[in-house]
């Protein structure tokens, strides 16, 4: 099994006891020419958050069997994945830290943390009553690793949670039920991949169907949401939002989102926290062993 | 069954369909004289966070069978609870919102939220890598409603959690194991009642046994912790803390904690958020029905 692992940090963290015959090829994936031995590569591990490689490059990897991404999202990749190649996402690597960011962001809005920071600066012990997650109805769109972690934490904090997935199953609502669930939601969390089906799904009409004061959380991809429509709802102070991803991204200085009210805004920091490299290397090592042993790969999200 | 419910808001929210013969007595519990018919009261519901009534008052409630508190903590009450009277705490009323506050506070320290607020004010999209809850070892002292909710959420965010209770049982460490667990803890959460056994337990020696950079979380009662010893560790920037309760409380202006570094400080707002009144009335109504039916009460924490 020949592995081309673009992020040097992850290659360095791979264990010494990989199966015999596993060979690592190096390439920085950017300005260097594609390595001559690309035709020997079985598994390609692209850089985290660098975007999809182009189809013309990938087609030169003539023996490629799988692409292992280090992100949960995989937008842009299905279109360029060569025929017969399995595309795997990095499920589990960023799930905990992304769920943490989403829930902490919701809490910052509901509990009005800035108010208590102000009181503290004034040495004022004022225990004003605020809202909280308890008793809220949260609709979590996406029943994968991240969505389930968010649901578990929100339930622990006393919310009623509805998980929505592409297919109905035990404990998961069908995507077609989303318009109905939306009407009773206090919180809607986007925690599913950006695909051709989900791009722009949260548009002016979707937002209009949300209750006054509802909180939209996007820790998936900016392309889910019509940014202009959301800015209008925020500026009207009708809706609230927690955004770790935006469209466009990065957000240019002067963009209307920077100063919008009712908004917790962070610069795509849900994943990539301390330990992401160790978790990434462990997943790559496991997939290499599986390829070597002829076992099924984990987290296959698309077959080219 | 005669019920004396001091918080008027909770009395108003009690359902209309309480069993026949249930009678509500009113008294504000403070400046008004104790009502003449106090000798008829079976169940006393004191005001939330008002502190224990004095023993001389309570002894006049000669038929009293139970005291139902609306807080999770019950410090001060065992000493004044008349012989044979069951003391019940408000387990479940504040659990979700208190757990939410504890976990959001931990996240605020680890993810360095103030840094990203600063970047936002400058319209700077800077995705600096930070720490996160994932991969941390959290020791949660207290395996009741609040401690379990905190443990569930921290696990969902990728932490390894050790619950510590007064007695060892399935999934719960024995209190005597705490000194050993403490040495490997990144986070120690105090989520158990303040009693004569736990008062001052977190002293200079306990704190010295924590790792550099460890986070102490107190959402229980200020009396657990030697405030002076903690202030010294914070000012030395060796430890970090999340405090929703303090000793003294309320914290007077000018107290050293207000401006201590490495600290998230809130004014005892873990409980008492939106919906606490509805959850309180539901618990009181259920206990009234149990008394009327001769069934065992829930959440008995002490027998006088």
Question: Residue B29 — pLDDT band, cuts 50, 70, 90?
Answer: low
**Residue B192 pLDDT:** 95
Residue with tokens 């399995």: A86
Asked if B156's CB is within 8 angstroms of A96's CB, the reply is yes
Q: Is the pLDDT of residue B63 over 90?
A: yes
- What is the CA angle B106-B283-A154, rounded to 5? 30
Query: What residues does A172 pair with on adjacent strands?
Result: A169
Q: Name which of A96, A56, A53 is nearest A72 in CA terms.
A: A96
Token digits of residue A19: 């199966």
Distance from the Cα of B21 to chain A's closest Cα (Å) equals 32
Question: Residue B20 — pLDDT band, cuts 50, 70, 90?
Answer: confident
Closest by Cβ to B273, choosing from A129, A150, A156 = A129
Name the CA dihedral angle for A28, A32, A36, A42, rounded to a multiple of 10 degrees: 20
| Per-residue DSSP letter, A22 | -
Q: Which residues contact A49 (CB under 8 A, 6 or more apart)?
A: A71, A268, A272
Asked if A96's CB is within 8 angstroms of B134's CB, the reply is yes
For B233-290, what is each residue's pLDDT tens digit? 999 999 999 999 999 999 999 999 999 999 999 999 999 999 999 999 999 999 999 9
Chain B residues 245-304 within an 8 A CB cutoff of chain A = 249-251, 253-255, 258, 265-269, 272-275, 278-279
Q: Is the pLDDT of residue A145 over 70?
A: yes
Asked if B149's CB is within 8 angstroms of A152's CB, the reply is no
Q: What is the predicted ipTM?
A: 0.95
Token digits of residue A296: 């099924």
Asked if A133's CB is within 8 angstroms of B100's CB, the reply is yes
Closest by Cβ to A135, choosing from B156, B265, B275 = B275
Distance from the Cα of B157 to chain A's closest Cα (Å) equals 4
Interface test with B, best of A49, A147, A156 (most B CBs within 10 A): A156
- Whether residue A52 contacts residue A76, with contact meaning beta carbons closer than 8 Å, is answered with yes
Residue A86, helix vs strand vs coil: strand
Q: Name which of B53, B153, B57, B43 is nearest B101 in CA terms.
A: B153
Distance from the Cα of B147 to chain A's closest Cα (Å) equals 10
Distance from the Cα of B60 to chain A's closest Cα (Å) equals 33
**Average confidence score pLDDT of chain B:** 95
- Whether residue A223 contacts residue A209, with contact meaning beta carbons closer than 8 Å, is answered with no
Q: Which residues contact B287 (CB under 8 A, 6 or more apart)?
A: B43, B66, B68, B88, B297, B298
Burial of A253: CB neighbours in 10 Å, binned 0-12, 13-18, 19+: exposed
Catalytic residue among B86, B221, B240, B279: B221
Q: Is the pLDDT of residue A168 over 70?
A: yes
Q: Using CA coordinates, name the residue in chain B closest to A145.
A: B156
**Residue B35 pLDDT:** 81
* Strand A86-88, strand A263-265: pairing: unpaired
Q: Using CA coordinates, name the residue in chain A closest to B249.
A: A125
Q: How large a percentage of chain A has pLDDT more than 90?
A: 85
- Whether residue A126 contacts residue B267, with contact meaning beta carbons closer than 8 Å, is answered with yes
For B86-137, what is each residue's pLDDT tens digit? 999 999 999 999 999 999 999 999 999 999 999 999 999 999 999 999 999 9
- What is the CA angle A230-A231-A233, rounded to 5? 65
Q: Is the pLDDT of residue A26 over 80?
A: no
Asked if A254's CB is within 8 angstroms of B96's CB, the reply is no
For B168-217, what is each residue's pLDDT tens digit? 888 899 888 999 999 999 999 999 999 999 999 999 999 999 999 999 99
Question: Residue A135 — pLDDT band, cuts 50, 70, 90?
Answer: very high
Q: Is the pLDDT of residue A78 over 80?
A: yes
- Whether residue B134 contacts residue A96, with contact meaning beta carbons closer than 8 Å, is answered with yes
Predicted structure pTM score? 0.95
**Residue B21 pLDDT:** 85
Q: Using CA coordinates, name the residue in chain A closest to B147.
A: A156
Cα separation values, B73 from A39, B78, B80, Å: 67, 11, 15
Q: Name which of B135, B99, B149 is nearest A94 in CA terms.
A: B135
Number of cross-chain residue pairs from A and B with Cβ atoms under 8 Å apart: 169
* Distance, CA of B279 to CA of B39 (rounded, Å): 28
Evaluate the omega torsion of the peptide bond into residue B288 and state whether it is cis, within 30 degrees of 0.
Answer: no
* Distance, CA of B7 to CA of B297 (rounded, Å): 20
How would DSSP label each residue in A266-290?
-SS-SS--TTHHHHHHHHHHHHHHH
Asked if A99's CB is within 8 angstroms of B103's CB, the reply is no
Which sequence positions of A are flagged as catalytic?
221, 249, 268
Q: Using CA coordinates, name the residue in chain A closest to B101.
A: A107
Using the Cβ of B107 and the Cβ atoms of chain A, whether some distance falls under 8 Å is answered with yes
**Residue B36 pLDDT:** 80
Q: Which residues contact B147 (CB under 8 A, 6 or more apart)?
A: B140, B141, B163, B165, B189, B191, B192
* Stretch A52-62: mean pLDDT: 92
Evaluate the omega torsion of the peptide bond into residue A101 and state whether it is cis, within 30 degrees of 0.
Answer: no
> In what side-by-side order are the strands of the sheet with A43-45?
A23-25, A2-5, A43-45, A66-68, A86-88, A300-303
Interface test with A, best of B97, B111, B268 (most A CBs within 10 A): B97
Q: Is the pLDDT of residue A108 over 90?
A: yes
Interface test with A, best of B123, B129, B156, B254 (most A CBs within 10 A): B156
Using the Cβ of A126 and the Cβ atoms of chain B, whether some distance falls under 8 Å is answered with yes
Distance from the Cα of B2 to chain A's closest Cα (Å) equals 30
* Stretch B142-148: mean pLDDT: 96
Using the Cβ of B21 and the Cβ atoms of chain A, whether some distance falls under 8 Å is answered with no
Name the CA dihedral angle for B44, B50, B52, B57, rounded to a multiple of 10 degrees: -60
Evaluate the omega torsion of the peptide bond into residue B248 and state whether it is cis, within 30 degrees of 0.
Answer: yes
**Average confidence score pLDDT of chain A:** 94
Q: Using CA coordinates, name the residue in chain B closest to A96.
A: B157
Phi, psi torsion values for B172, nearest 5 degrees: -130, 130
Q: Using CA coordinates, name the residue in chain B closest to A106.
A: B104
Q: Is the pLDDT of residue A31 over 80?
A: no
Entry field: residues in chain B: 304
B265: chain A residues, CB-CB within 8 Å: 120
């Amino acid at each position: 099994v020949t592995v081309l692992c673009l992020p040097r940090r992850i290659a360095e963290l791979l264990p010494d006891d990989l199966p015999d015959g596993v060979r690592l090829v190096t390439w920085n994936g950017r300005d260097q020419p594609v390595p001559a031995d690309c035709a020997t590569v079985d598994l390609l591990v692209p850089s985290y958050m660098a975007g999809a490689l182009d189809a013309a490059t990938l087609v030169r990897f003539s023996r490629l069997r799988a692409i292992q991404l280090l992100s949960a999202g995989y937008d842009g990749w299905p279109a360029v994945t060569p025929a017969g190649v399995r595309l795997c996402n990095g499920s589990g690597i960023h799930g905990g830290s992304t769920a943490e960011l989403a829930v902490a962001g919701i809490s910052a809005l509901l509990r009005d943390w800035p108010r208590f920071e102000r009181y503290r600066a004034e040495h004022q012990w004022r225990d004003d009553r605020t809202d909280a997650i308890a008793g809220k109805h949260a609709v979590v769109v996406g029943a994968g690793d991240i969505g389930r972690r968010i649901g578990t934490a929100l339930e622990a904090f006393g919310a009623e949670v509805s998980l929505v997935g592409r297919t109905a199953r035990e404990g998961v609502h069908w995507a077609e039920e989303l318009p109905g669930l939306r009407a009773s939601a206090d919180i809607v969390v986007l925690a599913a991949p950006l695909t051709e089906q989900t791009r722009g799904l949260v548009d002016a009409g979707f937002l209009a169907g949300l209750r006054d004061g509802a909180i939209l959380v996007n820790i998936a991809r900016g392309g889910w949401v019509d940014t202009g429509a959301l800015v209008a709802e925020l500026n009207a102070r009708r809706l609230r939002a927690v955004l770790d991803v935006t469209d466009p991204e990065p957000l240019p200085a002067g963009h209307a989102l920077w100063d919008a009210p009712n908004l917790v805004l962070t610069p795509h920091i849900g994943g990539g926290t301390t330990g992401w490299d160790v978790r990434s290397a462990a997943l790559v090592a496991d997939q290499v062993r599986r390829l070597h042993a002829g076992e099924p790969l984990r987290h296959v999200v698309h077959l080219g």
